[in-house]
């Protein structure tokens, strides 16, 4: 692992220094006075990688007065560039009584050559720490006991137990890996021994099989002869079966034909019955149409008389409608004149009521004007008190806000003073020559200087604390005075809403009186105009003109109610011919169509009879040929069974031939294998070669072929 760059923020004595670049350095030396922060840089590296430093608690690593810190380290491992970033933040307790336990975050990045940027390659804190240990191939204990000597702990390795020193050296030298190699080689040797034993057994079996070669050749010749004879029997059975092949399909086709013909005959019989019924219905329809056509002259004469009576009745109906319309117009115009006069009377009554109401409003407005003037003076005085109350409320809110800020500041100051006091007490109580905070060497003079610095900072925060407390008391006193003033003002303003409501009511009465005086003059003028218009009859001129015109037109109209009643009775007598005329028209239209349909039905019936005779003849032929087809099908099934039996025997003969050939081929392959007396030398090389190859794969680049 080669460090490249180190960045720290609020870590031990460092607030926010510039990054430390180590990429171009092969050897670096840090120099400075005690307490300058040399060891803090090395602690930053170990804390970034493993979250461990010389202090007991991570929160003690945070710079004094700060709430969080972070360390970022760029390093190179196995030719790849990585970045690890670890941070910690202090948490306040729920009751704000002090500092709680802090929380840490850890992130690992890898350099992406394609993007030319770092990318996150980690998960949670625990998983990321394990990933860093695997990447560096060491944990913190191994690091501080091998590559890093902590200040004051140079004898860390020698102080370990023998078992721990052996474990650390084993991890450094990688001895555990060679133990795994030894176990793997022993397993390979066991496999080779077992394989040699198996191959010896196979050689004995091969020699026994070679001795049976003559017998197997004789069995193969017999099997080939039986196979040829069985093939001839199969060919003969196939020829016999082919002669009757398809007999079952012919029988099935004949039966299907018989079923189809019977179904066609049943459907034809049903069609013939329906056709006979349709022919009878058409004969009846033609008889009805002929009866209707015989009364054609009488029906046409009645229709003519009905048309004449309706024409005369329509003319009288038009006059009747005009007569009724004129009567209705006269009544409507008379009602319009009466309504117009009633409207004038109603307007006069309404104006009289409005005049009385406006006079009452004028008198009421004059009475309340004096009370309104006195009430306005009282409300003006209370408005001034209301403005003073708002100012007092603003002062109270401002004082409360300042007091809250001072209390929060004092809590922060108290927390800082407690922390300073703890550190001063810790410095004064220690007797060793090192700083109890950062574990660095500390002289007496340096200790006194640090104690003096912390004491000065504590005194400054104490002065600020007391000043804030005095100002807080002043604000409390001012707030109390404003609150007393506010109580008195609230008592004085209790009646203000009621007085404002009364003011609005009185102002409305005065306004209504002034507006009523103006309206009163207009109402009196309207009364004079309406009375003059009623006396002269100067209203609804259009209705009067329309009434006179309707009366004149009614006098000139000729209309007889008796003649209208007589025509109505005559129309009722001749209306029956209207339905008969429609029936006559339909009969004249339908008679040729029904006759044509009857002729088509008779032709269709003749075709149905001819088709039935043809189907019956075909049915007789199919039923006569069916027994012969059934017999041929039975013979075909017997021949097919015989063919299948011969095929099965042929397959058995072929299997015997194939089995004999397989055994002979196996014996031939055994004959070409290494002889038994040379089997050990012939097998030792492949086994040894495989063992060597597996060993090379196991060792990889760490071992040579030897």
Length of the chain, in residues:
706
pLDDT at 130: 92
Task: Calculate mean pLDDT across residues 258-271.
Answer: 88
pLDDT at 166: 67
Task: Calculate mean pLDDT across residues 463-481.
Answer: 88
Residue 697's CB is within 10 A of a number of other CB atoms, namely 8
Task: Calculate mean pLDDT across residues 563-569.
Answer: 75
- C-alpha–C-alpha distance, residues 424 and 416, integer Å: 12
Residue that the structure tokens 């009466």 belong to: 338
Task: Calculate mean pLDDT across residues 223-242.
Answer: 88
Of 475 and 691, the one with more pLDDT: 475
For the segment 448-468, what is each residue's pLDDT rounded down to a tens digit? 888 888 888 888 888 898 998
- C-alpha–C-alpha distance, residues 580 and 583, integer Å: 5
559: confidence class by pLDDT, cuts 50, 70, 90? low
> Is the per-residue pLDDT at 191 higher than 70?
yes
Query: For residues 53 and 47, is the Cβ–Cβ distance under 8 A?
Result: yes
pLDDT at 142: 76
Assigned token pair, 118: 């770092």
Lowest mean pLDDT among 97-111, 455-469, 644-658: 97-111
Task: Calculate mean pLDDT across residues 227-250.
Answer: 86
Residue that the structure tokens 């030396």 belong to: 29
> Is the per-residue pLDDT at 532 higher than 90?
no
Lowest mean pLDDT among 37-51, 136-150, 366-380: 136-150
> Is the per-residue pLDDT at 650 higher than 50?
yes
Assigned token pair, 651: 């397959």
> Is the per-residue pLDDT at 388 higher than 70?
yes
Of 173 and 191, the one with more pLDDT: 191
pLDDT at 10: 92
Angle between helices 576-671 and 561-574 (to 10 degrees): 50
Highest mean pLDDT among 66-80, 364-378, 489-503: 66-80
73: confidence class by pLDDT, cuts 50, 70, 90? very high
The H helix count followed by the E strand count for the chain is 14, 6
Report percent pLDDT > 90 for the chain: 9
- C-alpha–C-alpha distance, residues 61 and 12, integer Å: 5
Lowest mean pLDDT among 325-329, 387-391, 647-651: 325-329
- From residue 302, give the alpha-carbon distance in Å to each of 125, 306, 573: 114, 6, 9
H/E stretch holding 199 reads: helix 175-211
Please provide the DSSP assignment of 55-87 as one string: SSSGGGGBPTT-SEEEEEEEEEETTEEEEEEEE
Lowest mean pLDDT among 140-149, 172-181, 501-510: 172-181
pLDDT at 685: 41
> Is the per-residue pLDDT at 702 higher than 50?
no
pLDDT at 545: 80
- C-alpha–C-alpha distance, residues 412 and 364, integer Å: 70
> Is the per-residue pLDDT at 672 higher than 80?
no
176: confidence class by pLDDT, cuts 50, 70, 90? low
pLDDT at 688: 46
149: confidence class by pLDDT, cuts 50, 70, 90? low
Largest pairwise CA distance in the chain? 161
- C-alpha–C-alpha distance, residues 181 and 176, integer Å: 9
pLDDT at 508: 84
pLDDT at 107: 94
Mean pLDDT computed over every residue of the chain: 80
> Is the per-residue pLDDT at 696 higher than 60?
no
Query: For residues 38 and 56, is the Cβ–Cβ distance under 8 A?
Result: no
Lowest mean pLDDT among 94-103, 198-207, 437-446, 553-562: 94-103
Task: Calculate mean pLDDT across residues 90-96.
Answer: 67
Residue 633's CB is within 10 A of a number of other CB atoms, namely 17
Angle between helices 175-211 and 162-173 (to 10 degrees): 70
- C-alpha–C-alpha distance, residues 463 and 471, integer Å: 12
For the segment 583-625, what is each residue's pLDDT rounded down to a tens digit? 777 877 888 888 888 888 888 888 888 888 888 888 888 888 8
> Is the per-residue pLDDT at 37 higher than 70?
yes
> Is the per-residue pLDDT at 701 higher than 70?
no
Cβ neighbors of 226 (< 8 A, separation 6 or more) are 653, 656
680: confidence class by pLDDT, cuts 50, 70, 90? very low
pLDDT at 151: 56
Alpha carbon of residue 346 to chain centroid? 72
Paired with 80 in beta bridges are 77
> Is the per-residue pLDDT at 75 higher than 70?
yes
Q: Are strands 68-77 and 20-21 parallel, antiparallel or unpaired?
A: unpaired
HSE of 16, CA atoms in CB hemisphere, 13 A: 2
pLDDT at 616: 85
For the segment 625-639, what is each residue's pLDDT rounded down to a tens digit? 888 888 888 888 888
461-472 b/e (C-beta count within 10 Å ≥ 16 → b): beeebeebeeeb
pLDDT at 50: 93
pLDDT at 127: 92
Residue 488's CB is within 10 A of a number of other CB atoms, namely 13
Residue that the structure tokens 């309706």 belong to: 310
pLDDT at 83: 95
Residue 73's Cβ-count burial label (10 Å; 0-12, 13-18, 19+) is buried
Residue 353's CB is within 10 A of a number of other CB atoms, namely 10
Query: For residues 445 and 366, is the Cβ–Cβ distance under 8 A?
Result: no
Lowest mean pLDDT among 150-159, 174-183, 296-305, 541-550: 150-159
> Is the per-residue pLDDT at 674 higher than 70?
no
| Helix%, strand%, coil% for the chain, nearest 5 | 75, 10, 15
Secondary structure string (H, E, C) spanning 224-279: HHHHHHHHHHHHHHHHHHHHCCCHHHHHHHHHHHHHHHHHHHHHHHHHHHHHHHHH
pLDDT at 155: 55
Cβ neighbors of 440 (< 8 A, separation 6 or more) are 34, 35, 39, 151, 434
Residue 165's CB is within 10 A of a number of other CB atoms, namely 14
> Is the per-residue pLDDT at 655 higher than 80?
yes
Highest mean pLDDT among 57-71, 191-205, 239-253, 619-633: 57-71
Assigned token pair, 595: 């006759």
What is the model's pTM? Answer: 0.30
> What is the Cα Rg of the chain in Å?
64
């Amino acid at each position: 692992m080669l460090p490249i760059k180190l960045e720290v923020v609020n870590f031990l004595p460092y607030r926010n220094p510039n990054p430390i670049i180590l990429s171009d350095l092969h050897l670096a030396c840090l120099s400075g006075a005690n307490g300058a922060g040399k060891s803090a840089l090395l602690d930053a590296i170990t804390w970034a990688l493993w979250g461990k430093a010389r202090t007991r608690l991570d929160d003690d690593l945070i710079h004094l007065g700060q709430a969080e810190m972070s360390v970022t380290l760029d390093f190179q491992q196995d030719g790849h560039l990585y970045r690890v970033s670890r941070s910690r933040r202090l948490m306040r307790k729920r009751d704000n009584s002090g500092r709680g336990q802090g929380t840490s975050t850890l992130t690992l990045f890898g350099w992406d050559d394609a993007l030319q940027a770092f990318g996150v390659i980690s998960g949670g804190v625990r998983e990321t720490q394990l990933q860093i240990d695997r990447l560096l191939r060491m944990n913190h204990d191994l690091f501080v006991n091998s590559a890093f000597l902590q200040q004051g702990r140079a004898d860390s390795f020698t102080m370990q137990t023998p078992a721990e020193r052996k474990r650390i050296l084993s991890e450094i030298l990688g001895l555990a890996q060679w133990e795994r190699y030894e176990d793997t080689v022993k397993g390979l040797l066991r496999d080779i021994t077992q394989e040699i034993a198996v191959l010896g057994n196979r050689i004995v079996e091969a020699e026994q099989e070679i001795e049976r070669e003559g017998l197997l050749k004789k069995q193969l010749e017999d099997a080939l002869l039986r196979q040829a004879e069985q093939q001839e029997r199969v060919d003969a059975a196939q020829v016999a079966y082919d002669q009757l092949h398809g007999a079952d399909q012919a029988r099935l086709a004949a039966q299907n034909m018989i079923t189809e013909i019977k179904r066609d005959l049943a459907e034809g019989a049903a069609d013939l019955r329906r056709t006979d019924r349709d022919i009878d219905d058409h004969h009846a329809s033609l008889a009805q149409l002929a009866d209707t056509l015989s009364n054609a002259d009488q029906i046409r004469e009645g229709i003519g008389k009905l048309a004449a009576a309706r024409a005369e009745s329509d003319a009288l109906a038009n006059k009747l409608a005009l007569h009724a319309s004129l009567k209705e117009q006269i009544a409507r115009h008379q009602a319009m004149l009466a309504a117009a006069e009633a409207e004038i009377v109603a307007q006069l009554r309404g104006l009289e009521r409005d005049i009385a109401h406006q006079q009452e409003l004028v008198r009421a407005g004059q009475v309340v004007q004096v009370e309104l003037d006195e009430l306005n003076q009282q409300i003006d005085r209370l408005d001034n008190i209301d403005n003073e109350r708002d100012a007092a409320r603003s002062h109270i809110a401002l004082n409360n806000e300042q007091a809250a800020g001072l209390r929060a500041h004092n809590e922060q100051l108290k927390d800082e003073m407690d922390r300073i006091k703890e550190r001063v007490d810790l410095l004064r109580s220690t007797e060793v020559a090192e700083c109890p905070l950062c574990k660095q060497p500390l002289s007496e003079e340096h200790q006194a200087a640090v104690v003096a610095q912390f004491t000065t900072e504590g005194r400054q925060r104490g002065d600020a604390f007391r000043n804030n407390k005095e100002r807080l008391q002043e604000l409390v006193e001012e707030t109390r005075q404003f609150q007393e003033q506010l109580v008195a003002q609230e008592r004085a303003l209790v009646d203000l809403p009621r007085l404002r409501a009364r003011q609005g009511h009185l102002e409305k009465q005065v306004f209504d009186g002034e507006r009523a005086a103006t309206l009163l003059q207009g109402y009196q003028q309207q009364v004079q105009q309406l009375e003059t218009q009623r006396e002269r009859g100067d209203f609804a001129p259009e209705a009067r003109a329309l009434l006179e015109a309707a009366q004149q037109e009614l006098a000139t109209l000729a209309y007889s109610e008796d003649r209208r009643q007589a025509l109505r009775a005559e129309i009722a007598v001749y209306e029956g011919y209207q339905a008969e005329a429609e029936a006559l028209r339909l009969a004249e239209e339908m008679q040729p169509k029904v006759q044509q349909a009857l002729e088509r039905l008779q032709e269709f019936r003749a075709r149905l009879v001819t088709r039935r005779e043809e189907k019956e003849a075909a049915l007789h032929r199919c039923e006569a040929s069916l027994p012969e087809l059934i017999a041929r099908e039975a013979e075909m099934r017997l021949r097919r069974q015989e063919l299948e039996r011969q095929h099965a025997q042929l397959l058995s003969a072929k299997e015997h031939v194939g089995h004999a050939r397989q055994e002979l081929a196996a014996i031939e392959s055994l004959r070409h294998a290494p002889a038994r007396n040379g089997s050990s030398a012939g097998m030792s090389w492949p086994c040894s070669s495989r063992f060597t190859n597996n060993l090379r794969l196991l060792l990889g680049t760490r071992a040579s072929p030897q």
